[in-house]
Amino acid sequence: MIESAQMKNDTPLRTFDVETIRREFPVLSRSVHGHPLAYLDNGASSQSPNPVIDAVDDYVRRHHSNIHRGVHTLSQEATALYEAARDRVMRFINARARSEIILLHGTTEAVNLVAQSYARPLLRAGDEILITHLEHHANIVPWQMVCAQTGAKLVVAPIDSRGEVSVAAIEALMGPRTRLLACAHVSNALGTVLPVAQLVQSAKSRGIATLIDGAQAVAHMQVDVRALGCDFYVFSGHKMYAPTGVGVLYGREEVLERMPPWQGGGDMILTVSFEGTTYNALPYKFEAGTPNIAGVVGLGAAIGFLESIDRPAAQAHEEALLAYAHATLGTIPGLRVIGTAREKAGLVSWVLDGVHPHDLGTILDQDGIAVRTGHHCAMPVMDFFSVPATTRASFAIYNTFAEIDRLGASLMRALHLFGRGAD
Ligand code: PLP
């Protein structure tokens, strides 16, 4: 058994205390433009705690080698670390088997894989893929591409003025030609939590396959893919305290079994000759080429970290932060929150009268506050609300109420700078 930082990080932190949590994240102690960093851009990418940094460091310093193919010690150690991370992912989302966990580069790659390997062989002209109006481009464009390749049609379920999607509206669009429902668990532009359990159930009862984009969900709530019953669930490591360039495609084994490989290359084969090739078993059939081994080790450590804290308490902390952020933003003159769904998670987006989001982002940055400005890779959402862009604050377990106070003060400063503040 090899000793690694990843395997050592099993000691629970016991109670949820934000200051204890913050000490695990080295970057939070730095300053930006002379102010302590207030990092409120976690929806784009979250920071990594010491156990993740240590696990990646330990892997690179002591165990790095290619996986699955060497008889030498380092290769076996690297393989053990990589596969241990897969097991952690399996338990993290309560998958039935490790064969259901495909380790990829991220959500985007996972959706593309399902579009090309599941949908493309299945779709006939006139078939339909159903998505919603609030999807990230990663859950729109791969479906547009496969529709163009097959003659299938993309059907888009509407959102309402709160940024909610109703089950009835989606059900109304489920027809005899609907082959797949692909929707977000949590919207990255609005924060809306979608009723995914009901949607999956509804789709299943009509024989429609389901893909849930969990990129904005897994860091904020406990996900149980078996309870959800979806066919596919996809997410990225870098939004849940792991490094970039690593993500997960969960697929139900019987569905994955029927799918052809997507990319060809090393590791996804059993035998190769010029006459023909036989493919490897799941999950390796979908993991062609050398993966991001260090990233996967980091993902395993991020899960270990999340398992070591009191997650319900962390979730309650984040919900309290979100409520406090809404209340704080509600005091800013001329500010309109975009996305007022009754169930939200992780983030709040807004526009401020007379101040372009990019200018606002720059002013906030001068005060040491990192937020996201732009269309958040969800241009149809911006069109729906008739705004070119929004400013978005997105939260993680390490954020504090004091940081939200600073956000409020900085927004007031921006208003004064633009001559819009009350005298
Ligand atoms: N889906 C949602 C809801 C997202 O928020 C994101 C990233 O912001 C993605 C998909 C794409 O994730 P990645 O760029 O890690 O592949």
For residue 187, report the distance from its CA to the centre of ligand 1, in Å: 10
- From CA 363, how far away is CA 358, in angstroms rounded? 9
193 has a pLDDT exceeding 60: yes
Pick the range with the lowest mean pLDDT from 5-14, 183-192, 365-374.
Answer: 5-14
Per-residue pLDDT band for 38 (boundaries 50, 70, 90) equals very high
Residue 56: per-residue pLDDT: 98
For residue 348, report the distance from its CA to the centre of ligand 1, in Å: 16
Q: What is the mean pLDDT of residues 24-53?
A: 98
Residue 420: per-residue pLDDT: 75
pLDDT tens, position by position, 284-319: 999 999 999 999 999 999 999 999 999 999 999 999
Q: Domain 5-48+310-414, what fold?
A: Aspartate Aminotransferase, domain 1 (3.90.1150)
pLDDT tens, position by position, 216-249: 999 999 999 999 999 999 999 999 999 999 999 9
DSSP line for 143-174: HHHHHHHHT-EEEEE---TTS---HHHHHHH-
Residue 419: per-residue pLDDT: 84
pLDDT tens, position by position, 66-85: 999 889 999 999 999 999 99
Q: If you take atom 8 of ligand 1, which residue's CA is the nearest one?
A: 44
Domain boundaries, the chain: 5-48+310-414, 59-307
Q: If you take atom 4 of ligand 1, which residue's CA is the nearest one?
A: 215
pLDDT, averaged across the chain: 95
Q: What is the mean pLDDT of residues 338-342?
A: 98
354 has a pLDDT exceeding 50: yes
For residue 41, report the distance from its CA to the centre of ligand 1, in Å: 13
> Candidates 104, 188, 221, 232: which one to mutate for ligand 1, based on the most atoms within 8 Å of Cβ?
188
67 torsion bin: left (phi>0), alpha (psi -120 to 50), beta (else): beta
For residue 210, report the distance from its CA to the centre of ligand 1, in Å: 18
User: Quick check: is 377 catalytic?
Assistant: yes
Residues 6+ apart with CB under 8 A from 323: none
Residue 57, amino acid: D
pLDDT tens, position by position, 103-141: 999 999 999 999 999 999 999 999 999 999 999 999 999
DSSP line for 88-157: HHHHHTT-S-GGGEEEES-HHHHHHHIIIIIIHHH--TT-EEEEETT--GGGTHHHHHHHHHHT-EEEEE
Residue 277, amino acid: T
SS3 state of residue 45: coil
Per-residue pLDDT band for 344 (boundaries 50, 70, 90) equals very high
Residues 6+ apart with CB under 8 A from 127: 150, 152, 153, 177, 178, 179
Q: What is the DSSP letter of 13?
A: -
Tell me the backbone φ, ψ of residue 298, rounded to 5 degrees. Answer: -65, -40
User: Among the atoms of ligand 1, which is closest to the Cα of residue 44?
Assistant: 8
61 has a pLDDT exceeding 90: yes
For residue 197, report the distance from its CA to the centre of ligand 1, in Å: 20
Residue 15: per-residue pLDDT: 57
For residue 410, report the distance from its CA to the centre of ligand 1, in Å: 28
33 has a pLDDT exceeding 80: yes
143 has a pLDDT exceeding 80: yes
pLDDT tens, position by position, 271-283: 999 999 999 999 9
User: Among the atoms of ligand 1, which is closest to the Cα of residue 238?
Assistant: 15
Q: What is the mean pLDDT of residues 245-270?
A: 96
Residue 4: per-residue pLDDT: 39
> Candidates 165, 238, 377: which one to mutate for ligand 1, based on the most atoms within 8 Å of Cβ?
377
> Candidates 236, 344, 376, 381: which one to mutate for ligand 1, based on the most atoms within 8 Å of Cβ?
236
Tell me the backbone φ, ψ of residue 76, rounded to 5 degrees. Answer: -70, -35
User: Among the atoms of ligand 1, which is closest to the Cα of residue 106?
Assistant: 16
Residue 223: per-residue pLDDT: 98
Q: If you take atom 5 of ligand 1, which residue's CA is the nearest one?
A: 188
Q: What is the mean pLDDT of residues 22-33?
A: 98
Asked if CATH classification 3.40.640.10 holds for the domain at 59-307, the reply, yes or no, is yes
The set of protein residues with a Cβ atom below 6 angstroms from ligand 1 is 106-108, 136, 138-139, 184, 188, 213, 215-216, 236, 247, 377
Q: If you take atom 6 of ligand 1, which residue's CA is the nearest one?
A: 215
Of the candidates 147, 183, 230, 377, the residue annotated as catalytic is 377
Residue 2: per-residue pLDDT: 40
Residue 16: per-residue pLDDT: 74
Residue 48: per-residue pLDDT: 98
For residue 108, report the distance from its CA to the centre of ligand 1, in Å: 6
